[in-house]
Structure 1
Amino acid sequence: MRLSLAFGLCTFAFLAGCNPTTVSDSADFGRFEGDIVASWAENGRDMVLRDTFRYVDSANREWTAPAGSVVNGASIPAAFWSVIGGPFEGKYRNASVVHDVGCDEMRQSWKDVHKMFYEACRCGGVDDSQAKMMYYAVYHFGPRWEPMAETIVQSVDAGNGQTVLQEVASQRMARIDPPPPTAEEIQQVEAFVAEENPHPEAIRELDRYQLHRRSGHGDRRDRISSTSDRSRDFASRWDNQERAVRSYHRGSSRSGLQPATEDAVIAKVREHVEQQTGELRPAVYTVEPGRDAYRVSVQYVHEDEQGQVVADEGGLSTALVSGEGKLIEFVNGR
């Protein structure tokens, strides 16, 4: 890695290419082309690519991160950073760059983009067990997108030099992420990878429902089970408390909305969270009315060992609910 500092701008570049000493069983994990040359953005958190960078996967498919792309590791669930390291640390930096761009562009399926991330991690020298844990993290907790039909209003030529406004059916790619992982789920993923050394296909097949119900081994299983029991107890108490609070404030709303409207918007977002997790998930929901949709901030919480309610690490989602009550976006980390 080459690091230089000039005029307050931090630019870094590091050689790209698979290290053959890290690839087991002669597996082909593709190759990187070029160096990553980037500089810090003004916000001090993002990096801006100065040169185009590419990864070619095992099927000879090119994944390009064009010059000018903004990367920050947000495509990797932040709750896992304490386990695997930050996106600009260690051997998965190259993989995190092309993964960020793939998730931002949404041109390929989310399944293909996450599979590419796993191969790129292995290509970059990440060891097998850590790469598998990272693959589980992005595949089951990372960004997802799907086509969504919508109606837009646009100007249409009506002849004689006149234009009229007309409703037109359109389609866009919408981010509909699963909720971020809990601390218990991270422990469960670590146990799954350590105990079974799963094939990538097995990683894809073990969804979070099955992860919760998986039988672990020995002391690790007992610790996870005890933690999960405490979490479920807190979730039940939190849910009852929140229902009581909403009932008490039935005549008013912090967002300025009619209480019934605010409740309906929150219920739509909660429905997504609980469908994805298969259980109650304690969180604080804040609704902000917008021009075309309601913006809902979801801050997940848990109870620490001292019995205090604290925010989950990396536990923030933002949802958009249309005026018709449809969930049109759900994005983690912002």
Structure 2
Amino acid sequence: MSKAILFAFCIFFPLPAVAQLYFGEFGGGPSGEFRDGDPWQEFVLDKEFEFLDPNGLRWATPSGAAVNGASIPPMFWSLIGGPFTGKYLKASVIHDYYVVNRTRTAHDTHRNFYYGMRANGVSSWQAKTMYWAVRTFGADWDLSRPVAKQDGQASNINISGNFDPQQYSAAIARQSLLEVARNLKTSDGETLRMVFGGPVEATLDAIDDDAFATQRTLAIYAPLLINDSNSDFKTVLFNFSG
């Protein structure tokens, strides 16, 4: 095919553009200030901060709310950054508020955290690593027919299945952290794990399933690993980041 014909073909039959994924959008901000807190620094909002997720659902943290990033397991901060560093801040402000108030399901709250990170430019592998962390070791709860109070807040919230990050830190370092983080980083967020049947694609549903399986595994084996002096979490993190 001559160059002239090829040029004409490209003009009249352009190749379809790759659609850019939409993860939602923040309504500006957040506006507020950092204050000393216990045990970590807090960010206090001086006006409402909102996020519209890709499904059109509005998430809002009200003015006066104080968040400290603790909804993200602190032991992961040294791996890929703290909740208030870089591009995590916006997603962390929304995530923290809903983890504390629990007016929506744990699944939707953590999934929205992933959307918020991606909407603010966090890379695929980092956002999925953080999502895996909160799904595996973050807070979990059930909503039992929320009934609105007179002030409009939801009530009747049952809380269950919250793993203590400190208790299981050795087990994470030994069995899961490096495998998941390295697979996601080296595949640019495409591969969650390598198994005998081939790579496990790092879809959000696959991360949910892996989080549940990891919880069950740690519930059985964590006590043995915690007493293993070779399972020092900080050492593993240092080796990974270096």
Q: 1:31 aligns with which of 18, 25, 33?
A: 25
Q: 2:179 aligns with which of 165, 178, 188?
A: 188
Q: 1:207 aligns with which of 205, 211, 220?
A: 211
Q: Specify which structure has the bigger relative contact order, considering alpha-carbon pairs within 8 angstroms and separated by 6 or more residues.
A: 2
Unaligned runs of 5+ in 1: 1-23, 150-169, 212-272, 284-299, 314-334
8 A contact 1:146–1:176 mirrored in 2: no
Q: 2:123 aligns with which of 123, 127, 136?
A: 127
* In structure 2, C-alpha distance between the alignment counterparts of 1:147 and 1:135, rounded to whole Å: 21
Shift of 1:208: 5.2
In structure 2, do the counterparts of structure 1 residues 42 and 146 end up closer, same or farther at CA, with 3 Å as the change threshold? same
Number of aligned residue pairs: 187
Range with greater deviation from structure 2 (90-99 or 177-186): 177-186
Per-residue displacement from partner, 1:274-293 (whole Å, max 9, x unpaired)?
Answer: x572423239xxxxxxxxxx
Shift of 1:112: 0.3
Letter in 2 for 1:125: G
Shift of 1:207: 3.1
8 A contact 2:135–2:211 mirrored in 1: no
* In structure 1, C-alpha distance between the alignment counterparts of 2:83 and 2:138, rounded to whole Å: 14
Range with greater deviation from structure 2 (191-200 or 93-102): 191-200
Corresponding residue for residue 48 of structure 2 = 52
Corresponding residue for residue 277 of structure 1 = 218
Q: Does 1:92 align with 2:88?
A: yes
Unaligned runs of 5+ in 2: 1-17, 146-154, 192-200, 235-242
In structure 2, do the counterparts of structure 1 residues 129 and 25 end up closer, same or farther at CA, with 3 Å as the change threshold? farther
Shift of 1:116: 0.5
In structure 2, do the counterparts of structure 1 residues 136 and 301 end up closer, same or farther at CA, with 3 Å as the change threshold? same
Shift of 1:110: 0.3
SS in 2 for 1:282: helix
User: Residues 73-88 of structure 1: matches in 2 within 5 Å?
Assistant: 73-88=69-84
Q: 1:145 aligns with which of 141, 148, 152?
A: 141
State the percentage of identical aligned residues. 31
Range with greater deviation from structure 2 (55-64 or 191-200): 191-200
Shift of 1:31: 0.5
Shift of 1:91: 1.0
Q: 1:63 aligns with which of 35, 56, 59?
A: 59
In structure 2, do the counterparts of structure 1 residues 148 and 199 end up closer, same or farther at CA, with 3 Å as the change threshold? closer
TM-score by length of 1: 0.50
Superposed structure 1 runs of 4+ greater than 4 Å apart: none
* In structure 1, C-alpha distance between the alignment counterparts of 2:217 and 2:209, rounded to whole Å: 15
SS in 1 for 2:50: strand
8 A contact 1:122–1:131 mirrored in 2: yes
Shift of 1:201: 1.9
Q: Work out which of the two has the higher radius of gyration on C-alpha atoms and give 1 or 2.
A: 1
Range with greater deviation from structure 2 (183-192 or 95-104): 183-192
In structure 2, do the counterparts of structure 1 residues 208 and 112 end up closer, same or farther at CA, with 3 Å as the change threshold? closer
The structure carrying a bigger strand percent of its residues is 1
TM-score by length of 2: 0.67
* In structure 2, C-alpha distance between the alignment counterparts of 1:112 and 1:127, rounded to whole Å: 20
